[in-house]
Structure 1
Amino acid sequence: MILSDQQIEFIEKNLKLYGVNSKDLREDLLDHICTYIEANDSSDFDFLYQEALQKFGGYASFQNLQLETNYQKFAKEIITINKVKFSFGFLVILFLVTGLVFQMMQWPYANAWLLCAILVSVLIILPIHFYAKYKKSIHKFS
């Protein structure tokens, strides 16, 4: 069976209606459903569409796929945030050690190095940390 544009739009609207909001996931599911329908010789679109839905687990499994996709995107974002925090934390330690060495050797600019460490901690690491906590708290409720 060859699908018409209206039938493809119908399938895509149904996927969106039943909670598949991610465009990439929706396109993948649409492709799988259309391929399944076109592989059959029957000309009854409604029957083949229902059969395809049952084969792929129905709308409930599509919603679970959407939730899993959202969770994976969230996990990648948190990993990226943690890498940025780690990098700036390393920079803070570098500034602190440099500042302390300058302080012990009584070289100039020791206080500037220590001040840089404090500024990076307060202006970069803390906001990133609180942003990550905020994102985690929002993700718990959604």
Structure 2
Amino acid sequence: MQLNYEQISQIEHYLKKKGVYYEDIKIELLDHICIQIEALMSSGYDFNTSFEEIVEKWDPMLSYSSSFYLGYTYSKPKIIIDKMKLRVKGYVYKTWCIILLFLTFIYFTGHDIAVNNSQVINIFSLSFLYVSCIAIVAGYFFIRKTKQKTSYRFLYETQILPILTVPIILSNSILNKDGNLDLLKFMLLVFIVIAIPFGIELFKKHVEISKKYSDYETIE
């Protein structure tokens, strides 16, 4: 049995009330709930009874939660947190592995290391850093221009945009006052090398979702 416009509108309002407003997840959940309600209605239940029964099953998954992987300051429906956690897990693992590796290396060798052509390395590294920051800003302006809210946009804003603070931390140099390579600062650059591909992936996914649902009219 096919649901009508008003019935779909009621389901969408339920999702909106629960805080599900990312297009990629909202449409996915809307489809799942509609299919489940249609299945019950095909068994002889009316819409209201079917809706209440399905909503009761979905309520625990739409209760608010948070995660270490995304930052405990962000609280969202559990199903959204779980989906985004899966997307960011690999990136978080790589980042922490790099941090622990560098901290271990620093513990045994010191906070800096002498290198040949340190000034050349410094200029090259800073050039890479600023080009990366410019690309991140340009990507975010494009994302904002789409005006679509997706889980990929949220991850871009919370996991990639903070990279823009790195130039401030580095103080325009990855060298220490003796002209040697500062390993703590170099670690930040390595972190960016890991973050950039992840940022590109998030950007591409957001654009893909935005194009897919650009003609979708949200039911108010």
Quickly name the TM-score band, shorter chain normalised: 0.5 to 0.7
Q: CA deviation at 1:7?
A: 0.9
Residues 21, 66 of structure 1: 8 Å contact kept = no
Query: Any stretches of 5+ residues in structure 2 without a counterpart?
Result: 65-75, 99-114, 134-159, 167-220
Following superposition of structure 1 onto structure 2, how do residues 1-142 of structure 1 map, counting pairs within 5 Å?
A: 1-40=1-40, 41-58=43-60, 59-60=62-63, 63-75=77-89, 100=116, 114-125=118-129, 131=163
- Which is richer in strand? 2
Report which stretch shifted further, 118-127 or 47-56. 118-127
Residues 8, 34 of structure 1: 8 Å contact kept = yes
Residues 20, 63 of structure 1: 8 Å contact kept = yes
- Which is richer in helix? 1
Q: Compute the TM-score of the two structures, normalised by the length of structure 1.
A: 0.54
Read off the aligned partner of 1:37 and give its amino acid letter: I
Q: Compute the TM-score of the two structures, normalised by the length of structure 2.
A: 0.38
Read off the aligned partner of 1:117 and give its amino acid letter: I
Instruction: For CA contacts below 8 A with separation 6 or more, give which structure has more relative contact order.
Output: 2
Cα displacement string for residues 99-129 of structure 1 (whole angstroms, at most 9, x for unaligned residues)? 94xxxxxxxxxx6xx5431113234349869
Residues 19, 66 of structure 1: 8 Å contact kept = no
Query: Any stretches of 5+ residues in structure 1 without a counterpart?
Result: 86-98, 101-110, 135-142
Read off the aligned partner of 2:128 and give its amino acid letter: I
The CA distance in 1 between the partners of 2:89 and 2:163, in whole Å, is 14
Identity fraction in percent? 25
The CA distance in 2 between the partners of 1:76 and 1:13, in whole Å, is 34
RMSD across aligned C-alpha pairs, in angstroms? 3.8
The CA distance in 2 between the partners of 1:66 and 1:132, in whole Å, is 26
Name the count of aligned residue pairs.
106
The CA distance in 2 between the partners of 1:6 and 1:30, in whole Å, is 14
Report which stretch shifted further, 1-10 or 125-134. 125-134
